[in-house]
Amino acid sequence: MSPDEQQPSATGPAGPPVCYRHPDRESNIRCTRCERPVCGDCMVSASVGFQCPDCVRQGSRQVREARTVAGGRVAPTTATAIVTKTLIGLNLAVFVLVQVVGNTFVDRWILVGRFFMGGEWQGVAEGQWYRLLTATFLHQQFWHIGLNMLGLWMLGPPLEAALGRSRFVALYLVAGLGGSALSYLIAEPNQGSLGASGALFGLFGAMIVLGRRMNYDLKPLIILLALNLMITFLNMSTIDWRAHLGGLVAGTLAAIGVVYAPARQRTLVQVGSLLAVLAIVVAIVLIRTAQIV
């Protein structure tokens, strides 16, 4: 400011105080923070008295938005578990399509390495990488989708609340892809696999990582995970244990990076961790494809 410039005076030449923003308006009301006079148009109601617009703006900049342990926004109670509900809705919608359309729909989207259908070779090894993801939304039996959606409803909301929506959906998808990748690597090329179980086992792993970070009692969760693993390996002929194990490992690794990321470099570490797990998935698929083709 040059010496010739002057700020508006908070008082008249020889009269009562005037608004610091409107010198032509008298006011005996002062901002409770800076004590400058403010008129009726400028005063902002505060917990105690009134504040001027400048102090309100300054206070807004200083108040930090509430964040979860993983850096996600704290969602209002009216918007709880939106991503979880959406995932359940997608799985149910695809299940209805499977029941209506039948095996032709399943054959188009199921995870399979390489098989001959419709006069040509098809599968992940033939460039149909989308099957790694689409298979995680496919279910044929009522008991299969019922158990998986029950598990998603149990594990999804607390994880979504702790991680935030974007981190939760990213972890869910990465875990599902990890399960598909290990299944593709180990299973016979013409063996099909479908279901959200790989993603759910990834959520199991993420819950354990989160519980460890928050110092929760992990015994109930570990017992539940152990029971599910026991069921998996006791029924290896009918259950794709490879997808379950791959999802568990991928979800756990991704969750470690998401939950333990330092606050100052949170986004960089979290994105890097998810991309690192995704890179491992891509490497596995490339290696297996080279073996099959």
What is the average pLDDT across 85-107? 96
CA distance 137 to 107: 13
Burial state string for 271-280 with b = 16 or more CB within 10 A and e = fewer than 16: eebbeebbeb
- Give yes or no: 244 in active site: yes
Domain residue extents for the chain: 1-58, 81-292
- Contact yes or no for 218/169 (Cβ under 8 A): no
- On the question of pLDDT at 220 being above 80, the answer is yes
Question: In sequence order, what are the beta bridge partners of 157?
Answer: none
Q: How confident is the model at residue 1 (pLDDT cuts 50, 70, 90)?
A: very low
Residue in 27, 193, 244, 273 annotated catalytic: 244
155-169 per-position pLDDT tens digit: 999 999 999 999 999
Q: What's the pLDDT band for 7 if we cut at 50, 70, 90? A: very low
Please classify residue 218 by burial: count the beta carbons closer than 10 Å to its beta carbon, then call 0-12 exposed, 13-18 middle and 19+ buried.
middle
| Digit-coded pLDDT (tens) for 54-81 | 888 877 655 455 677 777 776 654 468 9
Tens-place pLDDT, residues 180-215: 999 999 999 999 999 999 999 999 999 999 999 988
Identify whether 180 is a catalytic site residue.
no
201 touches 248 (CB < 8 A): yes
Classify strands 115-117 and 120-122 as parallel, antiparallel or unpaired.
antiparallel
CATH of the domain spanning 81-292, picked from 3.10.20.90, 1.10.10.10, 1.20.1540.10, 2.30.30.100: 1.20.1540.10
**pLDDT (0 to 100) of residue 126:** 96
pLDDT of residue 233: 94
As a whole number, mean pLDDT of residues 172-176 equals 98
The residue annotated as part of the active site, out of 180, 183, 193, 197, is 197
The answer on pLDDT for 8 being more than 80 is no
- In this predicted structure, which of 70-74, 165-169, 223-227, 234-238 has the lowest mean pLDDT? 70-74
- pLDDT tens-digit series, residues 117-158: 878 999 999 999 999 999 999 999 999 999 999 999 999 999
What pLDDT does residue 6 have? Answer: 42
